[in-house]
Amino acid sequence: MEALDIRENEPLAAHTTFRIGGNARYFARVSSENELADAITFAHAQSAPVFILGGGSNLLVADSGFEGLVIKNEIKGVEVREQENLVFIDVGAGESWDGFVEYCINNGYWGIENLSAIPGTVGAAPVQNIGAYGIEVKDAIESVRTVDIRTGEQRTFSNTECGFSYRESFFKTVEGKNFFITHVEFRVSRLPRPNLSYKDIKEYFTNEEKPSIVQIRDAVVKIRSGKFPDLSQFGTAGSFWKNQIISIDVYEKLKVAYPLVPSFPAPEGLVKIPLAWILDHVCGLKGHKIGKVSLYKNQPLVLYAESGATASEVEAFATAIERAVKEKTGIDIEREVKSLSC
């Protein structure tokens, strides 16, 4: 067996959609469980902390980089098991997320079509329970297969054990970060089940009662394209913050000051408010720009950076936005983007 290629001082900017950040002390791509085992052995021998990298599409790397081993997940493969109208698909976590969505569209497998055109890998999807246009990936996940990077042992998590909630899962917790996701098993359906609940989708299909799976994908791609800056020119990680989930009491107070504030029901009697609306109508920050960092003019939740911007500029900009929201509403907003530093 060939030895695993471990690079030193690898620039991480090229591995993220933000295109920002310093070097990784060590960097390895793994495409099998055996290579993963070798990478883990190396990290233990060097006493190096490990960071698991997927598509780098939800990540802000510090300018000083990472003093450990970054393992890029390139485990591939798709295995399908049909059981009447249900279809179980076991997918290598290093596969492209949108490549997998397209595979499902081409085969008429329903369940994840509204999650079209999201950058990143299959393995990253359960970590932050990606969601868009009325669907969260948790509703299509059967189980998640992992390797514990402390021990090298395999462990499979059932859907319930993944602890999914809005943009959260067990894999984002301190304990959960020890598990390297190697495969995700999905449960999709051969029966059409269009989900047109989300406002933008509903409006798109006003004249169409039962759009096909291809039509839904096309609609999502079209709607999304207006909400993000051109990725070939700018660095971004999509929504920089979450839509804040608040208690009814906090919401009622907010509504007194801003009667038009929209809201959506969240689990446990809580309320989700669109932060884009707050940034736009309460803080007047839509399109706000300092130096090379801006909030996007069509969707202020999306922070983007021009070429040459640094992570510390993004940090300072984001912190100022967080302060402005706190001052106007009293709410502490939470980031969706993950940070990686030494």
Residue 336 near ligand EPU by CB under 6 A: yes
In the chain, DSSP assigns E strands to 6-11, 23-30, 50-53, 59-61, 66-73, 78-83, 86-92, 131-132, 135-136, 141-148, 154-158, 179-189, 235-239, 245-246, 264-265, 271-272, 289-290, 293-295, 302-305, 338-340
Among 17, 116, 146, 243, binds ligand EPU (CB under 6 A): 243
Residue from the set 90, 218, 280, 322 that interacts with ligand EPU by CB under 6 A: 280
- The verdict on 277 binding ligand EPU (CB under 6 A) reads yes
77-96: contacts with ligand EPU (CB under 6 A): none
For residues 340 and 54, what is the distance between their CA atoms, to the nearest angstrom? 13
Residue count at the site for ligand EPU (CB under 6 A)?
21
* Span of 18-26, 277-285, 309-317, 321-329 interacting with ligand EPU by CB under 6 A: 277-285
Span 281-300, contacts to ligand EPU by CB under 6 A: 281, 286, 299-300
Residue 43 near ligand EPU by CB under 6 A:
no
Query: Which tokens hold the place of 108?
Result: 């008429």
Is residue 10 part of the annotated active site? The answer reads no
Q: How far is the C-alpha of 255 from the C-alpha of 7, rounded, in Å?
A: 54
Q: 37 is written with which tokens?
A: 């085992």
Q: Is 339 assigned a catalytic role?
A: no
Q: Are 97 and 125 in contact (CB under 8 A)?
A: yes
Token pair, residue 76, equals 């591939």
Q: Which residues pair with 70 in a beta bridge?
A: 27, 51
Minimum CB separation of residue 268 from ligand EPU in Å reads: 18
Burial class (CB in 10 A: 0-12, 13-18, 19+), 32: middle
Tell the smallest beta-carbon distance from residue 262 to ligand EPU (Å): 5
Query: How do 59-61 and 338-340 pair as beta strands?
Result: parallel
Residue 273 engages ligand EPU in binding (rule: CB under 6 A) = no
Stretch that binds ligand EPU, among 23-31, 94-102, 179-187, 196-204 (CB under 6 A): 196-204
Catalytic residue among 95, 167, 185, 217: 167
Question: Binding to ligand EPU by residue 188, rule CB under 6 A?
Answer: no
Number of H helices and E strands in the chain, helices first, is: 8, 20
Residue 88 or 205: the one with the smaller Cβ distance to ligand EPU is 205
Close Cβ partners of 71 (under 8 Å, ≥ 6 residues apart): 28, 29, 30, 36, 39, 43, 50, 51, 52, 53, 180
Give 3-state DSSP helix, strand, coil % of the chain, rounded to 5. Answer: 30, 30, 40
Is 167 a known active-site residue?
A: yes
Question: Does 144 engage in binding with ligand EPU (CB under 6 A)?
Answer: no
The residue within the footprint of ligand EPU, chosen from 116, 146, 182, 239 (CB under 6 A), is 239
Q: Which is nearer to ligand EPU, 176 or 274 (CB)?
A: 274
* Site residues, ligand EPU (CB under 6 A): 132-133, 198-200, 227, 238-239, 242-243, 262, 274, 276-277, 280-281, 286, 299-301, 336
Which active-site residues does the annotation give? 167, 239, 336
